[in-house]
Amino acid sequence: MPNYKLTYFNFRGRAEIIRYLFAYTNTKYEDVRLDYEKDWPAQKDSLTGKTDLDDLHIDAILDTIDDFILQFPWTADEKTIKEYIAKPGASLCSNLEKELGDKKWFAGDYVTWADFFWEVCSDSFEYYQSGFCKDYPNLFALKQRVRELPAIAAWIKRRPETPY
């Protein structure tokens, strides 16, 4: 029997559905609760906005990407996935391309976890459609900038190889 450990902030949030599943299936697990202000790396390492307005802007970008992910037909047939990428995917990329403009990062002159989120998510979409954002030069360049950050490049080099 596996030992499960659920680590999340000290609130329900996205982890609560997993807690429900564990409860319903009578599965034992360790429920590790983190303090958001002290333990969230984005907070500790200044990967959030410099101002409340910057945070709002970053959250809007994160939510836009997340909306696309939540509706993505992960288990559908290839035709359905390609259609989703062709229409909503193109709209997502077009909107984010406009939002990024000629800035280096979504927040302007500094990297945030929204830049990381874009790279990770768009990389996952590459599994389904090679060249997912190739027609959007600023977004594509952002992906490359994230991958070239020394700490990220080192992680990519040593992470386990998986399809997505």
Residue 13: give its domain's CATH number.
3.40.30.10
Average pLDDT (93-111) is 96
Q: Establish if 162 belongs to a structural domain.
A: no
Per-residue pLDDT, 2: 82
In the numeric block, which tokens belong to residue 81? 């996935």
pTM as predicted: 0.81
Answer whether residue 101 is part of any domain. yes
Whether residues 101 and 32 share a domain: the answer is no
Q: How far, in Å, are 8, 20, 28, 43, 50 from residue 34 at the CA level?
A: 6, 19, 19, 13, 23
Task: Answer yes or no: is 34 within a domain.
Answer: yes
| Separation between Cα atoms, residue 10 and residue 148, nearest integer Å | 33
> How many independent structural domains does the chain possess?
2
- Do 113 and 83 belong to one domain? yes
Q: Catalytic site residues?
A: 8, 14, 74
The residue type of 11 is F
Q: Is the pLDDT confidence value at 43 over 70?
A: no
The model's confidence at residue 148, banded by pLDDT at 50, 70 and 90, is very high
Tokens for 12, please give them. 């329900």
The reported pLDDT for the residue numbered 42 is 61
**Whole domain around residue 71: which residue ranges?**
43-155
